[in-house]
Amino acid sequence: MSSYKKFEIRMRDPDPRTAALLVIDIQNHFGSMARPILPALNATIDLCRRASLPVFFTRHCHKSPDDYSMLYEWWNGDIILDGTLESQLIPDLHRTEADSVILKNTYSAFRGTGLEERLKEMGVKEVIVSGVMTNLCCETTAREAFVRGFRVFFSTDATATSSSELHEASLKNMAYGFAYLVDCNRIQEAFSKS
């Protein structure tokens, strides 16, 4: 007989006093996935900025063959080179010059980027994960945030990937053991209570 508990979605609101927003890889390379969620993503960015949350953007790019790692093999050489138009953030993204941009060369926004240290220095205890791709960089970043001791909130309407099946599967994985699921409305409600 199995001893695991039945799956249930847990509910909790992010705390604007200790949270930060992570906007993962909204770059020209991923434009076809990112553009449909841009209204929800920009609304999330605006809500977080009004609540004085720090907002961190990531850009996935490679500087040389030395940092391609397994991604080069896995994606048959289809990598994003830094300095190209494909590597740049989408112009319609609600980003200011004051916002931090973290460069990363793998799925995780934490690996070798100094992000964890910066968040902890700022007193951040929670992260809201948004961006693309739901099942790769967003999910990996959320899992790593969780194992590093951050409470994780995962956006359902400000994340996207190549198919609805992959998106839904990642949301189920996140809700099962890593993150609280949120959307723009839930974030707005949570922040209006503070």
Domain that holds residue 106: 19-193
130, containing H or E segment: strand 126-132
Tens-place pLDDT, residues 101-153: 999 999 999 999 999 999 999 999 999 999 999 999 999 999 999 999 999 99
Q: Does residue 4 lie within any of the structural domains?
A: no
Tokens encoding 145: 């945030």
Q: Does residue 152 lie within any of the structural domains?
A: yes
**Whole-prediction pTM:** 0.93
Q: Does residue 10 lie within any of the structural domains?
A: no
Q: Does residue 8 lie within any of the structural domains?
A: no
DSSP state of 140: H
Which domain CATH number covers 134? Answer: 3.40.50.850
Tokens encoding 133: 């791709």
Q: Does residue 99 lie within any of the structural domains?
A: yes
Q: Does residue 43 lie within any of the structural domains?
A: yes
Tens-place pLDDT, residues 57-93: 999 998 876 666 777 777 766 789 899 999 999 999 9
Q: Does residue 1 lie within any of the structural domains?
A: no
Provide the domain count of the chain.
1
Torsion from C-alpha of 131, 134, 137, 141, nearest 10 degrees: 90
